Structure 1
């Protein structure tokens, strides 16, 4: 009888013990200049249950707003045109390929982003227009502040972690870079960044890839 009672108590304790919440703080710096990197998207390599949203990237003054959007997988994104000129929005990224041909106003239907990954946007009419959508399947995600710092909620029982870091000036900005961490100690992670462009070469390359499809 005593043994059975002990077993019941242990089971109840197991059920009632919460998963200890913890935090991971990282600072992202540029390996070339050692300067902090603001607006880097940082997220853990894990899958959570997320609620899709409806968001928008609008076109105004021949530019996308915002230039970087983070949405949960399964979300819908609208692309309203608030310019007086027409736009032709497209993406041929593996995470989502679509083509909204020349239009004014608001397209009839939003675009469903049903796969995680980095989606690069362009306009086939205006070469300078460029934006990115980060489609995520984790809620442990955010952007670094002006000091290149971010704190993500995690679990004390998670163990080794894979941290993904994305920035639009990565040499290959079609995917994040990975960093393996053995613990939750606050630390600095470095990434390689291309210099800030003085010309529109990167955007022209995007246009060239579109026209070669």
Structure 2
């Protein structure tokens, strides 16, 4: 029995590394933290140029051989994107596939969150202050969110099929905890970067039983052209002469 176990263990280590061996022996998989930073370059955004705000870049890991898993118990499947002061907060939200996102309206005016992009098309309709609507995101993709009433409102929801992801803070730092030892490919998303720029940042890395610091990621916004979006009917937003009056409830 001992020799048989030794042979199996050696093969497990040589073929797939620590995760397979741990599984074969009934041991808990080793988890580590992957961290790093993103530096935005060639940006025309005033928050980046004047205030060095590098937040909202999403970084995630995809296992190359499929052996890395994380227990689903305790995994949050709900998130929130609030509407207040005619803004979506957070502006960039990363979630796993299957998550439900609520869109509470904290403004004294009506809102209508929607997306007509391929990530996931949805329209929660017009709803009053103090109420909320919820959307379940069933497939991976990049969902650009707008308000059908206020053209200045926009946000991005990044829906991922991996539990290993993080969004950068204002300093550009990110931290992905509880990553099982395995081989991964690192991917990056930024709403003001071209697809070619983002693909060039893909890199392979190996996570072992120690914290891993990823070399700094230099992300250029060169080549990005902002295009004015349409309303949910695919038409230009009508000009607004004055702000809508605050909602005061149903008149009796």
- Whole-angstrom distance in 1 between the partners of 2:161 and 2:214: 24
TM-score (ref. length: structure 2): 0.64
Q: 2:93 aligns with which of 69, 79, 82?
A: 69
Deviations 1:159-198 (A, max 9, x none): xx321112232246xx9645123556631222222699xx
1:43–1:165 CA contact under 8 A, matched in 2: yes
The count of corresponding residues between Structure 1 and Structure 2 is 199
Q: 1:44 aligns with which of 61, 79, 99?
A: 61
The answer for the alignment partner of 1:205 in structure 2 is 228
- Whole-angstrom distance in 2 between the partners of 1:77 and 1:157: 30
CA deviation after TM superposition for structure 1 residue 155, in Å: 4.1
Structure 2 gap ranges (5+): 10-20, 44-51, 208-212, 237-252
Structure 1 gap ranges (5+): none
1:97 aligns to 2:100 (yes or no)? no
1:88 aligns to 2:112 (yes or no)? yes
1:191 aligns to 2:225 (yes or no)? no
Closer, same or farther in 2 for the Cα pair 1:65/1:195, shift >3 Å? farther
The correspondence of residues 1-213 of structure 1 with structure 2, limited to 5 A, is: 4-8=1-5, 14-16=24-26, 19-32=29-42, 37-46=54-63, 48=69, 50=72, 51=75, 53-105=77-129, 106-107=131-132, 110-153=134-177, 154-158=179-183, 161-171=184-194, 177=199, 178-183=201-206, 186-193=214-221, 202=226, 205-207=228-230, 211-212=234-235
Structure number having the greater strand percentage: 1
TM-score (ref. length: structure 1): 0.73
- Whole-angstrom distance in 2 between the partners of 1:171 and 1:128: 22
